[in-house]
Amino acid sequence: MTDELRFDERVALVTGAGRGMGREHALLLARRGARVVVADRGVGLYGSGSDSAPADETVALICDEGGEAVAYTEDLSDTRGASNAVAAALQIYGRLDALVHNAGFTLGSMDFGSEQIDRLDALLAINARAAFTLCREAWPAMQAHGSGRVVLVGSTAIYGIAGSVSYSAAKAAYIGLTRALAAAGESNNIKVNMVSPAGATRMAENMAEGEFRDWFLKTCRAELVSPLVGLLCHETCPVSGELFVAGGGRVARTVIGETAGWTDPDMTVEQLAQAMPQIMAQEPVANPRTTGEALALFMETMGFSPSEPASGLGAVKPKN
């Protein structure tokens, strides 16, 4: 029998934990011993308004089951609000072991020709900017005790939704953030992963009536995503820098790959057009996990063998 993976004496900050999947993540962690900061401003489906009740309700549920939790209801899309969420966890509990950034909202579909930059800004703020700020603030504490776990909750919108270009762009930012943070945290045992969930939440309830909607709401229960989030938050988490999809009891790895391609240093536009079938061939495929690995693949396919290993890619010192 496998021992239960516990979070005793650990502290987790879960954003968007007032409802839906975020609440399920918080409950799972608390039931396994974690002390949880429930961060949720209680906005509406489209990001408007605020209501402390959802966060308070999640805290009450955890406490009623004998767990320990506190609510945090500031605006995470504001840099100060995101920073203070981490500060609250450290002030109240003295440490932060796991960060799950699940908070988000939709702005609905819109034809791209009518899309507005403020919609993109709003979605980037609650997704990429909030995640960046939360991780930046949590980083020193995780480095200090040589361990940390971060789960960024993305979306299969990373594959592209024609009617939700802004949402797709905001969620796709998590890919680079996940991979870069995983590389940055490796020496301090800080592991960062991304989950693109499928769950019957408020967003799903807006689906068009029909057979698929009925099946989805019945099959993709929100709590079925939480076991993966729990594993990725645990000290025994076996991976970092990985992208997953989860829903309905299914978990799969999302893969970013690069084919061998076609090489000709004297190529012309016409030759390139003729070579497109080879360029578009699906095999063989390599799966670089970092920019450094992508560079190594590039050098290999170009036939370049340096006398010394390439190092420091991306480690350019900032200008004063």
pLDDT for the residue numbered 94: 97
Please, what's the b/e burial string for 287-299 (b: 16 or more CB within 10 A of its CB; e: otherwise)? ebebebbbebbee
Task: Determine how β-strand 258-259 pairs with β-strand 35-39.
Answer: unpaired
Place of tokens 């955890």: 62
pLDDT band at 288 (very low <50, low <70, confident <90, very high): confident
What domains does the chain contain, in order, with CATH numbers? 11-254 (3.40.50.720), 257-320 (no CATH)
3-state secondary structure of 226: helix
The Cα angle at residue 313 between residues 308 and 314, in degrees rounded to 5: 165
CA 35 centroid distance within chain: 21
Rounded to whole angstroms, the Cα distance separating 9 from 308 reads 45
User: What are 118-152's pLDDT values in tens digits?
Assistant: 999 999 999 999 999 999 999 999 999 999 999 99
18: pLDDT strictly greater than 90: yes
222-247: average pLDDT: 96
User: What are 58-72's pLDDT values in tens digits?
Assistant: 999 999 999 999 999
Residues above pLDDT 90, as percent of the chain: 65
Rounded to whole angstroms, the Cα distance separating 42 from 8 reads 28
User: What are 211-224's pLDDT values in tens digits?
Assistant: 878 887 888 888 99
pTM across the whole model: 0.89
Cβ(25)–Cβ(229) below 8 Å: yes
Catalytic residues: 167
